C-alpha cells in the first residue's frame, strides 16, 4: 500500500543485466532492477526462481558472471561479503543462521563487530578504550533488544529459543550493524499468524523509524502486497514483472507463472 507521504528517495542500489550460473544451471538470467532509498522492495517468485541467489549476489556471497551492481553510487564487479557489510548491507537468512551456542545478547553484539575498533591486546586487558567501546555498544544493542521486545531472552542461548524468536533475534543482529540496506530472506517463513503480524510491525517500524531501505523475499502474498512499495517478480531466473503491488497483481505473466498456463 503506497501511502503518498512515503518519502522515498533516489536510487540506492541498481543491478544491471545480472547473469549467474552454476555450471550448466542458469540461476539468474539478465535481470535488472533498482531499489530506492527508504523504500520496501519485495522480490517474489515461485520456488527456484532465483530470489535467494539474487540476494546472495547483492551482498557478495555469489559473484555473477555478467552484469554490474551499483550501490550508493559506487559500481562494483565483485566483492567479498564482508566488504558488502562494510558498505552497509546487512541480511537475514531463509534458514535461520544464528550462532547457536551464543546468547541472544552475544548474537546481536556480533552484529556490531564493524563498529568496534580496539585491537586484541587491549581487549585482553579489558581496560580503557576497549572496555568503554564494549559498554557503548552494549547500550546500542540493549536499545535493539527493547525495540524487538526480547528483553526476557537476553541471556538465553539462541539454540534453545523457539523458531519465531530466533527469526526476531536474527533481525536484531542485522539491525545492530545500522545497515543502509537490509535484505530479508523470507522473514515470515514458518510463522503463525500472530508471529507474522509482529514481524510485519517490526519491518515497518524499522523502515519508518530508522529510514532503512529494505529488500525482502516473501511467499505470503498478503504480506507482500501490504508491506511493499514496489515488487519485482522472478521466474526461472528471469524478471517477468516489476511495479507497484497493484500493477504486479494484474500482470498476466505473473498470474501465469503462479497459476500455470494451459498450452
Positions touching another protein (CB under 8 A) are: 59, 61, 80-82, 84-86, 90-91, 93, 97-102, 106, 109-111, 113-114, 116, 118, 120, 123-126, 130-131, 134-135, 138-139, 142, 173-174, 177
Residue 134 or 220 having the CB closest to another protein: 134
Instruction: Quote the least distance from Cβ 63 to another protein, whole Å.
Output: 14
Least separation in angstroms between CB 102 and another protein: 5
**Do the beta carbons of residue 20 and residue 51 sit within 8 Å?**
no
Contact in structure between 156 and 107 (CB atoms under 8 Å): no
User: Minimal distance in Å, beta carbon 216 to another protein?
Assistant: 16
Nearest CB to another protein, comparing residues 82 and 201: 82
Rounded to a whole number of angstroms, the minimum distance from the CB of residue 50 to another protein is 19
- Cα end-to-end distance, the chain, whole Å: 34
Would you give the distance in Å from CA 260 to the centre of its chain? 29
* Strands of 213-217's sheet in order across: 89-92, 181-185, 213-217, 40-44, 230-235, 238-243
Judged by beta carbon, residue 70 or residue 110, the one nearer another protein is 110
The SS3 assignment for 73 reads coil
Which lies closer to another protein via its Cβ, residue 9 or residue 128?
128
Angle at which helices 163-176 and 193-210 pack, to 10 degrees? 10
What would the grid cell of residue 4 be?
Answer: 503518498
Question: Toward another protein, which CB reaches closer, 5 or 139?
Answer: 139
Minimum distance from residue 245 beta carbon to another protein (Å)? 29
Amino acid at each position: 500500500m503506497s501511502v503518498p507521504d512515503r518519502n522515498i528517495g533516489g536510487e540506492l542500489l541498481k543491478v544491471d543485466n545480472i547473469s549467474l550460473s552454476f555450471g550448466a544451471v542458469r540461476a539468474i538470467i539478465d535481470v535488472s532492477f533498482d531499489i530506492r532509498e527508504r523504500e520496501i522492495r519485495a522480490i517474489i517468485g515461485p520456488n527456484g526462481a532465483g530470489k535467494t541467489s539474487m540476494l546472495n549476489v547483492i551482498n557478495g556471497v555469489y559473484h555473477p558472471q555478467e552484469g554490474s551492481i551499483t550501490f550508493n553510487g559506487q559500481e562494483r564487479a565483485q566483492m567479498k561479503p564482508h566488504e558488502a557489510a562494510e558498505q552497509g548491507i546487512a541480511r537475514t537468512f531463509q534458514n535461520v543462521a544464528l550462532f547457536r551456542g551464543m546468547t541472544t545478547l552475544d548474537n546481536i553484539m556480533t552484529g556490531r563487530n564493524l563498529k568496534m575498533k580496539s585491537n586484541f591486546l587491549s581487549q585482553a586487558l579489558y581496560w580503557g578504550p576497549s572496555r568503554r567501546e564494549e559498554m557503548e555498544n552494549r547500550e546500542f544493542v540493549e536499545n535493539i533488544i527493547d525495540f524487538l521486545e526480547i528483553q526476557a531472552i537476553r541471556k538465553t542461548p539462541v539454540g534453545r529459543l523457539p523458531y519465531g524468536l530466533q527469526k526476531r533475534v536474527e533481525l536484531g543482529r542485522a539491525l545492530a550493524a545500522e545497515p543502509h540496506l537490509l535484505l530479508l530472506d523470507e522473514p515470515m517463513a514458518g510463522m503463525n499468524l500472530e508471529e507474522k503480524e509482529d514481524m510485519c510491525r517490526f519491518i515497518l517500524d524499522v523502515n519508518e523509524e530508522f529510514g532503512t531501505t529494505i529488500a525482502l523475499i516473501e511467499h505470503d502474498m498478503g504480506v507482500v502486497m501490504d508491506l511493499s512499495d514496489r515488487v519485482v517478480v522472478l521466474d526461472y531466473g528471469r524478471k517477468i514483472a516489476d511495479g507497484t503491488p497493484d500493477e504486479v497483481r494484474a500482470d498476466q505473466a505473473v498470474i501465469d507463472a503462479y497459476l500455470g498456463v494451459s498450452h
